[in-house]
Structure 1
Amino acid sequence: MSIKKIHPKVSLIDLHDLQQEERTGAYILHEEAITIIETSASPSIPYLKAGLKDLNISLEEIHYIIVTHIHLDHAGGVGLLLQECPNAKVIVHPKGAKHLINPTKLAAGAKAIYGDRFETLFDPIIPVSEDKVIIKHHKDTLTIGNDCTLTFYDTPGHSKHHFSIYHPASNGIFAGDTAGIHYPAGKDHPAFFLPSTSPNQFDPKETLASLELFEEMQLSRIYFGHYGMSENVPFALTEVKKWLNIFVETSRGHFSTQLDFKENTEKIKASLEEKVNIVLKQRGFSENHPIHTIIDVDLMVSSMGLVDYLIKEQGANKI
């Protein structure tokens, strides 16, 4: 079990999402009202429960479960966890609430991406009772302790149902996927960052606006959904903005209305992979470093989102 105390009031539990270490994490806020941010999918719930047990937190003590957005790798397990948390409420973006209450479309979207692996990676997906759902709008707040009031910020770009949560005690933001993906590389390499452009609501202009909001906030920390915390905020945001431009321009350069969705995705992924691997090599990552395995999955999903975006942008017919 991997548990890290990354702030006096914040712990990180590794959820082993996609059966990988340091892929997706749940953040535990140690306040009067114990709060969890992110659950990942249902197969991650045993890891989350074990982590809570090691932190001496009972499921009855959980007051709030916050999901930054309702993609299954962030919120797919919330219904399953909630069954054992009798005093907890789920907090979600206004555009995401209906999908927690009725997750049919969520499941269908994940099946389209992951195919035969869907059941292993995501089942079961349990609906959340409407009376357990609390909606938070832009700049709404939630007091979870005498000296801790969280503030919610609408941060679209990765998805339209995404908010980020400001944590005043650490001057940090729980950014979900808005600030991209943080690849912890160990002591021998610098951390690596890429945007997350997964389907089907990715919008580069909205992503850039959200990143600029984070810059304006002069944050000390970013807590990433994937994975962990970075205190090098200017570098992280600069890197994600740089790669966001590369992702979009590369996909535009390779996208063709003469190719079908799969062919476009594979072509764009191959080009992005080449560009990413050049930088990884420059930064001292070997060809067999574990970072490549995780990035390979991310580039496939991000390429699908880029193709989806360009189809909508150019008005082409999806084949």
Structure 2
Amino acid sequence: MEKRQPIDLGHGIQLIDGFDLGLENRTGTYVMQEEELTLIETSASPSVPHILAGLSALGLDPADVKYVIVTHIHLDHAGGAGLLLQEHCPQAKVVVHPKGARHLVDPSRLIMGARAVYGDKFDQFFEPIIPVPEQRVLIKGHEETLQIGPSRVLRFFDSPGHAYHHCSIYDPVSNGMFTGDTLGVQYSQLKADGVSLYLPSTSPNQFDPEAMLHSLAMVQEMQVERIFFGHFGMSTEVEEVYRQLTMWIPRFVQIAEAVAASGDLESSEVSRQLLAMVASYLKDQGIAADHPEFGILRSDLEICAMGLVDYLQKKQ
């Protein structure tokens, strides 16, 4: 197992790399070292050993974890919650959006949907998937709060667009928002080259561009100073996040609509055109086509294309 020291993000927040899909800087678990020790996001079950190693490096005992918050119940964000609770965090409750709770208790539909996307790689990426006992699920709806420390009260916001069952979590101490996938993906490997790239996550099967832009506007109105992504890490250039997402979301939809208008709406053609558009943008930023980040970009855009096709088919 690859090991990496947790990243100190300031304001009592640490980030543990979960090595989702076996990749560095792919997903992470945020740790809030408060009176009520709190984790945000778990990634899938294969990330649990990395979470445990990160907690150990911080001198923390997983048995002391009180809350495991998930922004939404897709397996790359919440798939490890059941395993953590069953084997390592006996005191913890999982905090989830009202529409996501039943899928933690009975993950059968989640499993079926993820198998359709990942095929024969599903077991490698996600197993084991363990149901969360209903009595250990804590539901938080729009603008409800959770106090985890004397001066730290987290506030939950309904934030659809990527999924109906998505919440974002506002932290007043950092003046930051944990946005899961609603505000897309930060491709942090490009930062070393001086390039910021934020792309929407339009994966199946609940992508809604209007809802995503509405959620973005809600976060923007709150004047946060930090955005904590599910994939991956923190950004303080919040206006650039808003600018890029506002630019990319309609462009993604337009490409899918153009492919549909040609009479053959295939996700492979949508992903090919998405990749060409993003590659052209990055070329203008001085990023060559053989940059290592293109490996994950290609994979992400294939899944984004599936979600765009699903969106247009439902719309029709």
TM-score range, shorter chain: over 0.9
Superposed displacement of residue 257, structure 1: 8.7
1:280 matched residue in structure 2: 282
Superposed displacement of residue 145, structure 1: 0.3
2:198 matched residue in structure 1: 193
Q: Secondary structure at the match of 1:170?
A: coil
2:19 matched residue in structure 1: 16
1:303 matched residue in structure 2: 305
Contact map agreement 1:255 1:268 (CA 8 A) in 2: no
2:257 matched residue in structure 1: 252
Alignment map for 1:119-198 (pairs within 5 Å): 119-184=123-188, 185-198=190-203
1:78 matched residue in structure 2: 81
- Aligned pair 1:62/2:49, yes or no? no
Contact map agreement 1:256 1:264 (CA 8 A) in 2: no
Q: Secondary structure at the match of 1:69?
A: coil
Aligned amino acid, residue 35 of structure 2: E
Instruction: Write the deviation string for residues 218-252 of structure 1: whole angstroms up to 9, x where unpaired.
Output: 11000000000000000111101100010011111
Distance 1:230 1:56 in 2: 26
Distance 2:260 2:35 in 1: 51
Q: What is the aligned-residue identity percentage?
A: 49
1:43 matched residue in structure 2: 46
Q: Secondary structure at the match of 1:255?
A: helix
Alignment map for 1:219-298 (pairs within 5 Å): 219-255=224-260, 258-259=263-264, 264-298=266-300
Distance 1:188 1:270 in 2: 24
TM-score, normalised to structure 2's length?
A: 0.97
Distance 2:288 2:50 in 1: 30
Instruction: Write the deviation string for residues 39-89 of structure 1: whole angstroms up to 9, x where unpaired.
Output: 000011101111011011101110000000000000011000111111100
Superposed displacement of residue 311, structure 1: 0.2
Distance 2:235 2:191 in 1: 13
Structure 1 stretches (4+) deviating beyond 3 angstroms? 256-259
Aligned amino acid, residue 194 of structure 2: H
Aligned amino acid, residue 37 of structure 2: I
Superposed displacement of residue 265, structure 1: 0.2
User: Residues 64 and 169 from structure 1, CA distance in 2 versus in 1: closer, same or farther, beyond 3 angstroms?
Assistant: same
The RMSD of aligned alpha carbons is 1.0
Structure 2: stretches of 5+ with no match in the other structure: none
Aligned amino acid, residue 148 of structure 1: R
Distance 1:99 1:266 in 2: 29
Contact map agreement 2:11 2:173 (CA 8 A) in 1: no
- Aligned pair 1:117/2:129, yes or no? no
Superposed displacement of residue 255, structure 1: 1.6
Contact map agreement 1:189 1:285 (CA 8 A) in 2: no
Contact map agreement 2:11 2:174 (CA 8 A) in 1: no
Aligned amino acid, residue 90 of structure 2: P
- Aligned pair 1:313/2:310, yes or no? no
Distance 1:245 1:276 in 2: 14
Distance 2:282 2:293 in 1: 9
Tell me the number of residue pairs that the alignment of Structure 1 and Structure 2 aligns: 311
Superposed displacement of residue 206, structure 1: 0.3
Match of 2:36 among 16, 30, 33: 33
Structure 1: stretches of 5+ with no match in the other structure: 315-319
Q: Which moved more, 1:150-159 or 1:77-86?
A: 77-86
User: Residues 176 and 250 from structure 1, CA distance in 2 versus in 1: closer, same or farther, beyond 3 angstroms?
Assistant: same
Superposed displacement of residue 189, structure 1: 2.2
TM-score, normalised to structure 1's length?
A: 0.96
User: Residues 236 and 33 from structure 1, CA distance in 2 versus in 1: closer, same or farther, beyond 3 angstroms?
Assistant: same
Contact map agreement 1:66 1:91 (CA 8 A) in 2: yes
Superposed displacement of residue 256, structure 1: 5.2
Superposed displacement of residue 187, structure 1: 2.7
Q: Secondary structure at the match of 2:192?
A: coil
Distance 2:123 2:129 in 1: 10
